Amino acid sequence: MNMPPQTLLVATNDGVCTVTVNRPDKLNALNAQVMRELDALFEALAADPQVKGVILTGAGEKAFVAGADIAELNAQSPIDGKEHTLRGQRVLERIEGLGKPVIAAVNGFALGGGCEIAMACHLRVASENAKLGTPEVKLGIMCGYGGTQRLPRLVGRGRALELLLTGEMIDAAEAHRIGLVNKVVPRERLLAESEALLRKMLANGPLSLRFTLEAVAQGLETPFDEAQTHEATLFGLICTSEDMKEGTAAFLAKRPAQFKGR
């Protein structure tokens, strides 16, 4: 039997699972244990039919996640470094590939690996006190959890390079202005607003959400024509679903749809 996670708090309420990275004394830095536990947890969440969407946040008042654990990085050999990075990339891909919407509720510092994990989530809601950035260059290292790839895809190459090369933090308002976060809300409203946004998505067809996530994620990595063909294939597939019949019939009958994810 799997051990319950020691570094994560996990609570599911009516389809929404809230995952809290829980090392507040180290500003929720991502050590090997946190990464292992996130990996196992997101594997389980993907297979759990009770979980329809996820909110990822950090414990305490100060930080979402202040980065990879610098104490562990300091002791790494080149071989360890490469393996650490490949493992971390796989964990973030698991989050991004969950097949159900994941919102990062960014409640404070989201730096380095913390910013990268927020970017692997599908949407980001930040509290007014949030600070985001990729300070790795100040430590003589660089992003290793996909940050050099996801940041330019989210905010464009120029803005990404400014953040990646200066290592400077930006506040929530600036992160919103450049499209790094979707929304900024008061600290005390962060979890409620994140949940409200998630539930808006969850009111829609689960297969619609899953296939849309897949079309966007895979499409951004393939030539446009191929990506459109993939979109058409997914569209064809969704036409075989009960939810498609229900959603369209409900519209025509002027009643709310009851989706089943089938």
Nearest CB to ligand COA, comparing residues 92 and 111: 111
Residue in 37, 57, 53, 33 with CA at minimum distance from that of residue 45: 53
Six-digit token string for 234: 């997914």
Nearest CB to ligand COA, comparing residues 102 and 111: 111
Q: How many CB atoms lie within 10 A of CB 247?
A: 18
Cα–Cα distances in Å, from 28 out to 47, 95, 110, 228?
A: 26, 17, 10, 40
Provide, rounded to whole angstroms, the least separation between the CB of residue 148 and ligand COA.
13
Q: Which of 16, 17, 27, 197 binds ligand COA (CB under 6 A)?
A: 27
- Catalytic position from the list 37, 96, 116, 195: 116
Provide, rounded to whole angstroms, the least separation between the CB of residue 140 and ligand COA.
10
The answer to whether 198 and 104 are in contact (CB under 8 A) is no
213 binds ligand COA (CB under 6 A): no
66 binds ligand COA (CB under 6 A): yes
88 binds ligand COA (CB under 6 A): no
146 binds ligand COA (CB under 6 A): no
Q: Which stretch binds ligand COA (CB under 6 A): 14-22, 26-34, 92-100, 205-213?
A: 26-34
Distance of CA 3 to the CA centre of its chain: 24
Residue spans of beta strands (DSSP E) within 140-233: 170-171, 183-185
Q: Which of 51, 70, 142, 161 binds ligand COA (CB under 6 A)?
A: 70
Give dist(CA 147, CA 121) in Å, integer.
12
69 binds ligand COA (CB under 6 A): yes
Provide, rounded to whole angstroms, the least separation between the CB of residue 106 and ligand COA.
13
58 binds ligand COA (CB under 6 A): no
The answer to whether 19 and 8 are in contact (CB under 8 A) is yes
User: Residue 194 in 3-state DSSP?
Assistant: helix
**Which residues lie closer than 8 Å to 207 by C-beta, 6 or more apart?**
238, 241, 243, 261, 262
User: What is the C-alpha radius of gyration for the chain, rounded to an integer number of angstroms?
Assistant: 19
Report how many residues bind ligand COA under the rule CB under 6 A: 16
135 binds ligand COA (CB under 6 A): yes
* Sites of contact with ligand COA (CB under 6 A): 26-27, 29, 66-71, 109, 111-113, 135-136, 139
Residues that are catalytic: 116, 136
